[in-house]
Structure 1
Amino acid sequence: MTKGWAKIPYPYAYQLLSKETKQQIFFEEFEKSFAGIGHITLLKLYPAYQPLNTPASIKYYMVEIEVITGLPHKGEGKNKPQPSYFAYYYGGL
């Protein structure tokens, strides 16, 4: 269950996907992929090396993000505490 404006970023993030990717994953599935995520922080976004002859419309970036998340509750009882963990990711876009 979501409170407040927690789902506001998802439509904007979905719009950043390519047309080809949007044909493979519909918005509802994209939004559900974030289930269990408590917090996402973009730490760094740097322009990266762009290979020769790359069209000007294509950009490369190095990213670092951190995520605080928990596993979906599969047991009985709605108020059972959920485990959570911190994850750190980096990569290129």
Structure 2
Amino acid sequence: MHEALNKRLASLPDDTVVYPGHEYTKSNVKFAISVLQSEAVKKLQAFAESNEVTTGKFTIADEKDPIVQKATGASEPVDVMSKLREMKNNFK
């Protein structure tokens, strides 16, 4: 996952549109809100609530949000991913 996200996808131009294979935006917003209450997360929540399909609406730049990384307390990319995965696995 580290190789795919932090090396391959992160090296794409920031304006590259993301088309994920699954529609997880609404459930991911619930998790993000539990981690931090930022303006960006609130905007994402409003967007997800008003759009049934969100695929193709975000860019690589959106996925690089450093605020989410700070919420983990880690700075190394592998540690950030590990902590986020752990947090998401424990999210109810």
The structure richer in strand per residue is 1
The structure richer in helix per residue is 2
Larger Rg computed on CA atoms: 1
- Give TM-score scaled by structure 1 length: 0.23
